[in-house]
C-alpha cells in the first residue's frame, strides 16, 4: 500500500477576489474579545502535518499506542489487528486527520466488511464494546447497511451527510474537528 501524497494529486481551485470600496472597507468588530490565534507553520507539502501537530503514527511504528501488540505496520500503513489500539496520550478538543482504506478484495457485507472505528472520549471497554463516541470506519462502498452505521457516521447516533466512501483499496480521508462536551 502506498500512502497518498498531495504531490501526486492535481487540485484546481477557483478563487474570486474582490476589493471593497474604501468607504465600506472598515475593520469588522464583533464586540467579543477573542484571543489572537496561534501562528503555526504549515507542512512543506499538503500531506505534511503542521508544526504544532501531535503525530500519532509516522508510518514506522506504533509507539504512540497501547494495546497494539496485535496490530502491525506494513508498507508505511497501520494494519488493523484484533483488539483496540488506544493512544497513550489523552486529548480534549482537537483536529484529527486520518487516512484509511479497506481491504481488497472486499469480503463480507454490511457491518461485517472492513469494520473499525475512531473513538473520541474513549472510556475503556464494557465487555467486548469500546465506550466513547465512535466515528465509523467501514467499507460503505456499494455496501448497504443502516444509515447511522455507515462510514463517517457518529455510530448509532448520527448518519453521515453523504456516503463518499471510495472503492476498496483506495484511500479515504477523515478530518475530524472535535470539541469535547462540557458537563
Segments in the chain below pLDDT 50:
3-26, 28
Beta bridge partners of 175: 97
Q: What is the pLDDT of residue 7?
A: 37
Name the strand (E) or helix (H) holding 133. strand 133-137
At residue 144, the pLDDT reads 86
Give the pLDDT score at 32: 64
What is the reported pLDDT for 124? 86
Query: CA 111 to CA 96: how far, in whole Å?
Result: 24
* Residue 6 pLDDT: 40
67 Cβ contact partners less than 8 Å away, ≥ 6 residues apart = 83, 84, 85, 86
The predicted structure's pLDDT at residue 130? 84
pLDDT reported for residue 148:
87
Contacts of 179 by beta carbon, 8 Å cutoff, 6+ apart: 93
Amino acid at each position: 500500500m502506498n500512502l497518498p501524497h498531495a504531490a501526486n494529486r492535481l487540485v484546481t481551485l477557483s478563487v474570486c477576489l474582490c476589493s471593497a470600496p474604501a468607504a465600506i472597507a472598515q475593520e469588522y468588530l464583533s464586540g467579543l474579545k477573542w484571543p489572537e490565534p496561534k501562528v503555526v507553520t504549515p507542512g512543506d507539502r499538503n500531506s505534511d502535518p503542521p508544526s504544532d501537530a501531535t503525530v500519532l503514527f509516522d508510518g514506522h511504528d506504533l509507539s504512540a499506542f497501547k494495546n497494539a501488540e496485535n496490530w502491525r505496520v506494513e508498507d508505511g500503513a497501520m494494519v488493523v489487528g484484533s483488539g483496540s489500539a488506544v493512544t497513550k496520550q489523552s486529548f480534549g478538543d482537537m483536529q484529527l486527520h486520518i487516512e484509511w482504506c479497506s481491504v481488497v478484495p472486499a469480503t463480507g457485507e454490511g457491518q461485517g466488511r472492513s469494520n473499525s472505528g475512531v473513538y473520541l472520549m474513549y472510556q475503556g471497554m464494557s465487555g467486548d464494546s469500546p465506550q466513547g463516541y465512535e466515528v465509523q470506519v467501514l467499507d460503505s462502498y456499494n455496501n448497504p447497511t443502516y444509515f447511522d452505521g455507515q462510514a463517517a457516521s457518529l455510530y448509532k447516533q448520527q448518519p453521515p451527510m453523504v456516503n463518499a466512501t471510495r472503492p476498496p483499496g483506495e484511500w479515504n480521508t477523515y478530518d475530524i474537528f472535535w470539541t469535547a462536551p462540557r458537563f
